[in-house]
């Protein structure tokens, strides 16, 4: 799909469709007023007939509006004028995207960016329009013998703004929106792929492909390399699987090499059976999504490289399957991590932290500014926050605040849980330095407490995306989260530097 931002006026558009907003109680936005005047009151007349009153989610597609050069005018309901905030804007744009899907519209000029949105600027609106339009055009067809028909006939979207001074920033915001959408699309693809295809080897190949396209440095550690480094914890998860584990690293330098990089670590368990602590079989297929942390950090790397952001970024993906077998780790086994700390594996289903801990130790060699790990780590996080917010736990207040802000800005929110010492006690083991589980209570926090013991040398945050990375049910599929949050965080970092 092609996008452009231009200084434009609705009545001068010749294309297939012009989109304007209507507030509740039939209140016209500025762009809708222009069309109403051009058409000698046609819009107001339609509204007063009761065909639409501007409620959120409502749409009305009009053809051959008098005086207009375009083929169609799409009215979209915005809800209450005074309460028009980010959520209402996003709802309206989704409603527009739904109409695009169901119609034969080939190009559209959208006039929603001039409408004031509480606490949001034009750039935010442009960014969201691109994200939502591209997001709703996403289809996962790779594994069907006959691909479904494309959702959109739409090929081009123009975003009309009235203020020429906002043009440069608007274009920049558009590029960012498109880059984030591309990153999300990669993350969704990797998440949705079947676990017999998306193996650790496949993830490594994808990372190398990204490196080739964007001229990044790629390193893939094989099992023997990890043995040499003493990654006994990561390898203890991999030992039950026939698929070889990989530790993947991508390095992007948008700054001089002496600038410290942000390091993102993504959990890449390409299938989590639970191991010997086997999971129940219903819905076990969903554990193919246990590599969504990996998918999101790779997607973020793609977005950053696409935008050529002036920062340094390293992405690390520990990738493995978690399988039961004769060679699998047993409950009670004690393993030695790369950090030298020993771990009693009381539950082989708490495998995410076992691979992340060695990746966190490995991260130290990049002399990071901050390290953020992203993982579908605990079912407890789904219980606590549902599918709305990502769980956030950090050893640094500034970093957690930056991530919370980025989530707000990107409409991809996180919510913080505490990392208090009181919880650390739950990880006590009689036989090793620590156990890999802390019992049923506060499962998300004890998982993070475990990780914190391997993140002592730098500022660190942990994002638990167990509830936000994919949807179950009828619309089952990967969401691409938290690519928007992570990318927004990195964009904000470049602004903080300059």
Give the footprint of Zn ion on this chain (CB under 5 A).
Answer: 269, 272, 290, 352
CB of 273 to Mn ion, least distance (A): 8
Alpha helices by DSSP H, 244-291: none
Give yes or no for a contact between 387 and 468, defined as CB atoms under 8 angstroms apart.
yes
Structure tokens at 377: 């780590």
Distance CA 304, CA 310 (A): 9
- Residue whose C-alpha is closest to residue 218's, from 174, 194, 260, 248: 248
* Residue 344's binding partner out of Zn ion, Mn ion, ligand BES, none, with CB under 5 to 8 Å set by partner kind: none
Q: Which residue is nearest to Mn ion (CB)?
A: 349
Strand, helix or coil for residue 488: helix
| Residue 210 buriedness (CB in 10 A; 0-12 / 13-18 / 19+) | buried
Strands 156-161 and 2-7, sheet pairing: parallel
Distance CA 301, CA 207 (A): 10
CB of 391 to ligand BES, least distance (A): 11
379 is a site residue for ligand BES (CB under 6 A): yes
Give yes or no for a contact between 72 and 15, defined as CB atoms under 8 angstroms apart.
no
Taking the least distance from each CB to Zn ion, the nearer of 312 and 446 is: 446
127 is a site residue for ligand BES (CB under 6 A): no
Binding to ligand BES by CB under 6 A, coded x per residue (else -) over 45-64, reads --------------------
382 is a site residue for ligand BES (CB under 6 A): yes
Taking the least distance from each CB to Mn ion, the nearer of 24 and 349 is: 349
Taking CB under 6 A as the criterion, the residue among 232, 266, 293, 443 binding ligand BES is 443
Distance CA 334, CA 343 (A): 5
Taking the least distance from each CB to Zn ion, the nearer of 170 and 352 is: 352
Q: Residue 447: phi, psi to the nearest 5? A: -60, -45
CB of 190 to Zn ion, least distance (A): 16
Distance CA 32, CA 10 (A): 8
Please pick, among 353, 413, 453, 481, the residue that the annotation labels catalytic.
353
Could you confirm whether 440 is annotated as catalytic?
no
Strands 72-77 and 17-23, sheet pairing: parallel
Could you confirm whether 453 is annotated as catalytic?
no
Strand, helix or coil for residue 338: coil
464 is a site residue for Mn ion (CB under 5 A): no
Taking CB under 6 A as the criterion, the residue among 336, 347, 405, 429 binding ligand BES is 347
272 is a site residue for Mn ion (CB under 5 A): yes
Taking the least distance from each CB to Mn ion, the nearer of 123 and 272 is: 272
232 is a site residue for ligand BES (CB under 6 A): no
Question: What single DSSP character describes residue 433?
Answer: S
Taking the least distance from each CB to Mn ion, the nearer of 166 and 437 is: 437
251 is a site residue for Mn ion (CB under 5 A): no
290 is a site residue for ligand BES (CB under 6 A): yes
Question: Binding residues for Mn ion, per CB under 5 A?
Answer: 272, 349, 351
**Residues taking part in catalysis:** 279, 353
């Amino acid at each position: 799909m092609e996008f452009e931002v231009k200084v434009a006026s609705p009545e001068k558009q010749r294309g297939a469709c012009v989109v304007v907003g209507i507030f509740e109680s039939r209140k016209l936005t500025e762009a809708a007023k222009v069309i109403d005047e051009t058409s000698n009151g046609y819009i107001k007349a339609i509204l007063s007939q009761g065909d639409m009153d501007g409620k959120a989610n409502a749409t009305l597609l009009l053809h051959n509006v008098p005086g207009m050069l375009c083929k169609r005018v799409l009215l979209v309901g915005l809800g209450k004028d005074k309460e028009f905030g980010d959520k209402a804007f996003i709802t309206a744009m989704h409603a527009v995207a739904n109409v695009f899907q169901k119609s034969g519209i080939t190009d559209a000029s959208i006039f929603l960016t001039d409408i004031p949105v509480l606490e949001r600027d034009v750039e935010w609106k442009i960014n969201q329009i691109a994200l939502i339009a591209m997001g709703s055009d996403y289809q996962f067809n790779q594994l069907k013998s006959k691909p479904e028909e494309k959702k959109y006939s739409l090929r081009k979207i123009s975003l009309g703004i009235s203020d020429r001074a906002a043009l440069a920033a608007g274009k920049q915001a558009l590029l960012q929106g498109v880059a984030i959408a591309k990153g999300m699309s990669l993350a969704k693809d990797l998440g949705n792929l079947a676990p017999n295809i998306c193996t650790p080897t496949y993830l490594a190949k994808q990372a190398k492909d990204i490196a080739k396209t964007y001229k990044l440095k790629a390193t893939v550690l094989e099992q023997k390399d990890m043995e040499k480094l003493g990654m006994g914890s990561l390898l203890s998860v991999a030992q039950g699987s026939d698929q070889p584990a990989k530790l993947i690293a991508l390095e992007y330098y948008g700054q001089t090499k002496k600038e410290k990089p942000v390091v993102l670590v993504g959990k890449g368990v390409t299938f989590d059976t639970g191991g010997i602590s086997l999971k129940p079989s219903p819905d076990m297929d969903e554990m193919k999504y246990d590599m969504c942390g990996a998918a999101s950090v790779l997607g973020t790397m793609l977005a950053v490289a696409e935008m050529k952001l002036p920062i340094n970024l390293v992405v690390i993906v520990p990738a493995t399957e978690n399988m039961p077998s004769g060679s699998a780790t047993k409950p009670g086994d004690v393993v030695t991590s790369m950090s030298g700390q020993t771990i009693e594996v009381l539950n082989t289903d708490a495998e995410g932290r076992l691979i992340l801990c060695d990746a966190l130790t490995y991260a130290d060699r990049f002399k990071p500014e901050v390290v953020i790990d992203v993982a579908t780590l605990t079912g407890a996080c789904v219980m606590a926050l549902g599918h709305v917010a990502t769980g956030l736990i950090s050893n640094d207040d500034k970093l957690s605040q930056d991530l919370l802000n980025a989530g707000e800005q990107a409409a991809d929110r996180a919510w913080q849980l505490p990392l208090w010492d009181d919880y650390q006690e739950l990880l006590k083991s009689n036989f090793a330095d620590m156990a890999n589980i802390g019992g049923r209570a506060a499962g998300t926090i004890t998982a993070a407490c475990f990780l914190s013991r391997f993140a002592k040398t730098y500022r660190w945050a942990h994002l638990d995306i167990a509830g936000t990375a994919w949807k179950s049910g009828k619309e089952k599929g990967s969401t691409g989260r938290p690519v928007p949050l992570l990318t927004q965080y990195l964009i904000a970092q470049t602004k903080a530097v300059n």
